[in-house]
């Protein structure tokens, strides 16, 4: 039996549960239980704080987990990352008060930097050979310059509106983060871990693509095939009506809006677009 550690609350919790459900794992999530058994896999889900997950996986309390890259960098000691999960995007950003003359990362030399990510911050500036003093705070980092505890901060930012609200200005990125699937090194090749990783990857690949079907006169096939290259090549199926075919293909969701008018102009009729639940290339 494999145990998977998952965030029990916060920004990563809801999209993580949705991803697992979309991958077909059958379980009843409740915010009052610590762990549940997945009915259709040899898998136990354990709900804990996102920042405890790297430690729990390192200690083999759980063999796999989902957490943020920032937390993995801070507490993970090089735990293997199996898959980037495409949500929970944020950056660890260095920021200074709006009216500060500091404009670039080297300007932070000799300064006090407040952060919830002391290890990551210390390591980043050490690699850049910029001597700083880390001030470790557990929260409300953005208040540190105002109350005189630090000259600058390194904090998680997604839109930047919290920084602006607190009179701060970003001067550089320390780390780009998103949710990741991590594993204990000895469990990377375990069959259940591989199955989970493949299924989650298939859901993510499917989310970014659409399945498209259309009818077209045979003479339009060349042009339409060029517009719809698909994974290898489009599927072309003859229709009962002579001189007509159906073309099936897969397209990038983000390219669809630009593609639809071109498909119409090229002779496509009855264009159908459907979501893809899973895609394994």
Nearest distance from residue 53's CB to ligand AMP, in Å?
A: 10
Count CB atoms within 10 A of the CB of residue 115. 25
Query: CB of 29: closest distance to ligand AMP in angstroms?
Result: 16
Cα(64)–Cα(261) distance, integer angstroms: 45
Residue 10 or residue 229: which is nearer to ligand AMP going by CB? Answer: 10
Kindly state the smallest distance separating residue 77's Cβ from ligand AMP, in Å: 17
Q: Which is nearer to ligand AMP, 85 or 102 (CB)?
A: 85
> Which C-beta is closer to ligand AMP: that of 15 or that of 24?
15
- Give the bridge partners for 168, in sequence order: 97
CB 54 to ligand AMP: min, Å: 11
Give the containing element (helix H, strand E) for 28: none
- Residue 88 or residue 268: which is nearer to ligand AMP going by CB? 88
2-23 burial: b if 16+ Cβ within 10 Å, else e: bbbbbbbeebbbebbbebbebb
Q: Name the DSSP letter for residue 44.
A: E
For 233, the 3-state DSSP assignment is coil
End-to-end CA distance of the chain: 28
How many CA atoms lie within 13 Å of 69's alpha carbon, on the beta-carbon side?
19
Smaller CB distance to ligand AMP: residue 90 or 259? 90
Query: CB-wise, 9 or 37, nearer to ligand AMP?
Result: 9
Residue 160 in tokens: 């930047």
Which residue from 72, 68, 32, 30 is spatially nearest to 55, judged by alpha carbons? 72
**Residue numbers at the binding site for ligand AMP (CB under 6 A):** 10-12, 50, 68, 70-71, 88, 90, 156, 158, 177
Q: Output the smallest distance, CB 132 to ligand AMP, in A.
A: 21
Closest distance of CB 156 from ligand AMP, Å? 4
């Amino acid at each position: 039996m494999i145990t998977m550690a998952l965030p029990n609350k916060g920004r990563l919790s809801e999209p993580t549960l949705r991803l697992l459900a979309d991958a077909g794992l059958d379980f009843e999530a409740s915010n009052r239980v610590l762990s549940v058994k997945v009915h259709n896999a040899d898998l136990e889900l354990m709900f804990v704080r996102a920042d405890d997950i790297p430690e729990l996986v390192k200690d083999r309390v759980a063999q796999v987990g989902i957490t943020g890259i920032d937390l993995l960098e801070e507490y993970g000691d090089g735990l293997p990352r199996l898959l980037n999960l495409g949500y929970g995007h944020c950056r660890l950003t260095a920021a200074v008060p709006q009216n500060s003359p500091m404009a670039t990362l080297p300007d932070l030399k000799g300064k006090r930097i407040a952060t919830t990510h002391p290890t990551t911050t210390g390591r980043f500036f050490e690699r850049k050979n910029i001597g700083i003093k880390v001030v470790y705070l557990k929260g409300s980092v953005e208040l540190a310059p105002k109350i005189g505890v630090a000259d600058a901060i390194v904090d998680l930012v997604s839109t930047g509106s919290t920084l602006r609200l607190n009179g701060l200005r970003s001067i550089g990125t320390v780390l780009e983060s998103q949710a990741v699937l991590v594993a204990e090194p000895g469990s990377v090749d375990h069959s259940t871990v591989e199955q989970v990783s493949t299924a989650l990857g298939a859901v993510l690949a499917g989310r970014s693509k659409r399945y498209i079907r259309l009818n077209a006169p045979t003479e339009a096939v060349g042009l339409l095939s060029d517009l719809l290259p698909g994974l290898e090549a489009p599927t072309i199926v003859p229709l009962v009506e002579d001189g007509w075919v159906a073309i099936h293909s897969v397209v990038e969701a983000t390219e669809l809006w630009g593609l639809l008018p071109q498909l119409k102009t090229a002779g496509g009729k009855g264009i159908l677009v459907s979501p893809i639940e899973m895609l394994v290339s």
